[in-house]
Each structure stands twice: as structure tokens, then as C-alpha cells.
Amino acid sequence: MHNILITGGTGLLGKQLTDALIIKGHNVSHLSRRAGNNAAVKTFLWDVNKGTIDPECIDGIDTIIHLAGEGIAAKKWSQERKKQLVESRTQSVALIYNLLRSKPHTVKHIISASATGYYSDRGDELLTEASPPAHDFLGECCILWEKAVDEGAELGLRVVKFRTGVVLTPQGGALPLMALPVKLFVGSALGSGKQWIPWIHHQDVVDMYLFAVENENLSGVYNMAAPKPVTNLELTRAIAKQLHRPLWAPRVPAFALKLLMGEMSTIVLGSTKVSAAKIEGAGFRFGFPEVEGALREIYG
């Protein structure tokens, strides 16, 4: 049984992970910008922009799960927005580490989100955790994010980082956005449709975090994406099949997406084919290794 503090615990993934940890018998508390409404969870307050944090949040804690960060695709990438995206990830974990340096504590482990944006747009190359990062905005954001988290090693913490792909969940994120035009009979692939999507079912995301909490020999960086990646066209076809809709609309041209989204279009036009071999080699078993089975479970 672990005493766990989660940042970003009120987000889609955070809520699901919180429930799963409690069911497993762990004690969970949240570090949040506002008071929570989950009676089973104590919420401590912080404000990353102001550099304030409740010092009692780490009392009795042995594991921190760091999920906090502004949504990458929530707003267009102005220079100010890019700064917010980076600092919401780096300054938040720095605030926690400064607190750990300032008082006695029992924290031994930090498990942090990162993103497959570390590799960004790499065509058909199969990317392992040893592959070099990209040096566009997504890559640089992830480099700074991971570097900030790695400072936990200097504090004697076991550090685990998960480079998370596109999480398939009916509650939000990419899947409802992709499914909506399909439901309206105007579904189509984006750009060439040949770009690789590093997808993962939401339950496998939760299970991988549980795996990291309960396997204390696990450390370092791991790709958090299903072992069988698919292209944008294959994913769109699989969604259409589950929704019993035809795909007849022409593909959305890349130039139109670039006009609409600007630099942020790399999120949907970039090709990132990642390997899951390292986490599988550590003993993790995916519940949904193939996209058809993942979508079947989601759409019932």
C-alpha cells in the first residue's frame, strides 16, 4: 500500500487513475489549483504561477505522480502560450522538488507524464526510448519537461517517465474530435493519412501507472503507446467501422490544416511510430494491443 500525491488529479486521466489506485487499496491525495469534490481524496492547494504550495502536501507521502500541465492542443501556439505549456510542466515539478529540499519527507518515487512529442514528426522510423529527440517546439517542450523531472534523481528518488501517445478515451482528447465528422458522414483522413499515430487505450494508460507504482524496480523512460501503431487513415477507418459509417469524404489537405492550426498542425500531421518493446520487456501486458479491440471496447 502506497501513500500517493497526484498533480493533475482532476483531469480525465487523473480521475480514472485516482479511482483505480483507491480500489487497489492505496491512499491518494491531490495537489490542485482548487478544492476537490472527491470525498475519498484530500486536496492540497498550489499555484504554480505564484510559486505557492501547501507544505503539508508531502507529509507521509512516498510516491508522487506528476500529470499536471496545460493542454497542448487547447489553444493556438502563440509565443506566450508556448511559454505557458513549458512552464506548467517544468515549474510545477520544480516547486515540488524545492519543497522536498526544504523539509524532512518520506518521498521515494516520482512517476511523471511526458509525451511522444519528444520524437515529433519522424516519418516511418521506429522510435525507441534511445532515439534522439526532435528540436521543434514539441520536442524541445518534452526535453525541458523530462530534464526538470530528472532532477528528482539528485534527491534520491526513483524516477519513471512515460512518453504518452494519443490516449483513446470517449470522454475527451483526440478520439471524439476524430469521431464527430465520421458520425456526420464526412469523416476523412488528415493530410496524406500515412502519418503514424502512437495511440493507446485509456485503461492501458491507467494500468501502466499502476504497474510503475507497484514495481519499484522500474525506472527511467518508457514509451506509453500500444505495441501495434496505426496510420491516421487506418485509425479513421477503424473508427468508421465501429460507428458503422462510410468513409467517402476527400482527405483534409495538409495546407488547410496548417492554415487553420498554424504550427500546432504538427500534432495531427506529424508521424510518430513508437516501439512498446521496452515496457513489454519490463513485464507490462497491454489489455488492448490492437486498435480494433480498443475501439470495440470504447464504443461497445
pLDDT of residue 186: 73
- Gyration radius of the chain's alpha carbons: 19
The single-letter DSSP state of residue 27 is E
Amino acid letter, residue 128: T
pLDDT of residue 276: 98
pLDDT tens track, the chain, 300 positions: 899 999 998 888 999 999 999 999 999 999 998 877 777 899 999 999 999 999 999 999 999 999 988 887 777 778 888 898 899 899 999 999 999 999 999 999 999 999 999 998 888 999 999 999 998 888 999 999 999 999 999 999 999 999 999 899 988 777 877 788 878 777 777 778 888 999 999 999 999 999 999 999 999 999 999 999 999 889 899 999 999 998 877 676 665 656 655 665 566 667 899 999 999 999 999 999 999 999 999 998
pLDDT of residue 173: 78
pLDDT of residue 270: 75
What CATH number should be reported for the domain holding residue 57? 3.40.50.720
pLDDT digits (tens, 9 = 90+) for 194-245: 889 999 999 999 999 999 999 999 999 999 999 999 998 898 999 999 999 9
Calpha distance 177→173 (Å, rounded) = 7
pLDDT of residue 61: 97
pLDDT digits (tens, 9 = 90+) for 247-262: 877 676 665 656 655 6
Cβ atoms of residues 104 and 90 within 8 Å: no
pLDDT of residue 116: 94
pLDDT of residue 254: 60
| Residue 171: domain span | 3-234+236-299
pLDDT of residue 220: 97
Calpha distance 160→113 (Å, rounded) = 9
C-alpha distance across the termini of the chain, in Å: 33
Amino acid letter, residue 16: Q
Cβ atoms of residues 225 and 202 within 8 Å: no
Q: How many domains does the chain have?
A: 1
Cβ atoms of residues 198 and 128 within 8 Å: no
Calpha distance 133→213 (Å, rounded) = 26
pLDDT of residue 267: 61
pLDDT of residue 256: 61
